[in-house]
């Protein structure tokens, strides 16, 4: 697994009300793990705050992102610098079941699916409702550009 560090959890909305620069000052120096699975909404102002925080933390150690929220993942894929500044261990993505139409945001393990992700192919997941095949409900570029080989 390599560098880990303390885990910091993010929940709720990442928007005008978020002040992540201040968060950066209270996180101890060294490697850090950020868990954003609790985020429900991200807009462009929140994204600026997130970039600010990542720039503060990346100079102190390795940043590992675990369980990245699907709403954050989509935003991160349009910002080029994240491919270099963070390690993503796992992320959520919007999936839909071919058989029953159920929608879900399953967790995708980056280590397990590394080669497929680098080839911009979202892994198929099993539907928890009917055990059918779930596929990514969006363009692969929206989630996987950051892993592109
Ligand atoms: Zn299903």
What CATH number does the domain containing 42 carry?
3.30.750.24
Do 18 and 86 reside in the same domain of the chain? yes
Q: What is the mean pLDDT of the chain?
A: 93
Do 71 and 22 reside in the same domain of the chain? yes
Do 11 and 70 reside in the same domain of the chain? yes
Query: Which tens digits make up the pLDDT trace of 46-86?
Result: 999 999 999 999 999 999 999 999 999 999 998 888 988 99
SS3 content of the chain, % helix, strand, coil (to 5): 30, 30, 40
pLDDT at 18: 87
Q: State the residue range of the domain holding 19.
A: 1-92
The CA 105 to ligand 1 mean position distance, Å, reads: 13
The CA 130 to ligand 1 mean position distance, Å, reads: 4
The CA 95 to ligand 1 mean position distance, Å, reads: 10
Query: Last residue of a domain, which of 92, 120, 141?
Result: 92
pLDDT at 23: 84
**Residue 77 · residue 146 · CB < 8 Å:** yes
Do 79 and 120 reside in the same domain of the chain? no
The CA 108 to ligand 1 mean position distance, Å, reads: 18
Kindly tell me the sign of the dihedral angle through the C-alpha atoms of 126, 38, 9, 117: positive
pLDDT at 83: 86
Do 68 and 141 reside in the same domain of the chain? no
The CA 10 to ligand 1 mean position distance, Å, reads: 30
Percent of the chain with pLDDT over 70: 98
Do 44 and 87 reside in the same domain of the chain? yes
The CA 126 to ligand 1 mean position distance, Å, reads: 8
Q: pLDDT confidence of 21, banded at 50, 70, 90?
A: confident
Domains contained in the chain, number: 2
């Amino acid at each position: 697994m390599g560098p880990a560090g303390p885990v910091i959890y993010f929940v709720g909305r990442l928007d005008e009300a978020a002040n992540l620069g201040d968060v950066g000052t209270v996180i101890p120096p060294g490697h850090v793990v950020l868990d954003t699975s609790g985020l429900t909404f991200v807009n462009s102002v929140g994204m600026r705050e997130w970039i600010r925080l990542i720039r503060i933390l990346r100079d102190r150690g390795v940043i590992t992102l675990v369980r990245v929220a699907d709403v954050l993942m989509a935003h991160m894929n349009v910002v080029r610098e994240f491919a270099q500044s963070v390690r993503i261990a796992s992320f959520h993505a919007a999936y839909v079941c071919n058989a029953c139409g159920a929608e879900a945001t399953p967790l995708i393990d980056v280590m397990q699916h590394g080669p497929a992700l680098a080839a911009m192919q979202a892994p198929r997941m099993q539907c928890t409702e009917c055990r059918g095949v779930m596929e990514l409900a969006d363009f692969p570029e929206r989630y996987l550009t950051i892993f592109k080989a």
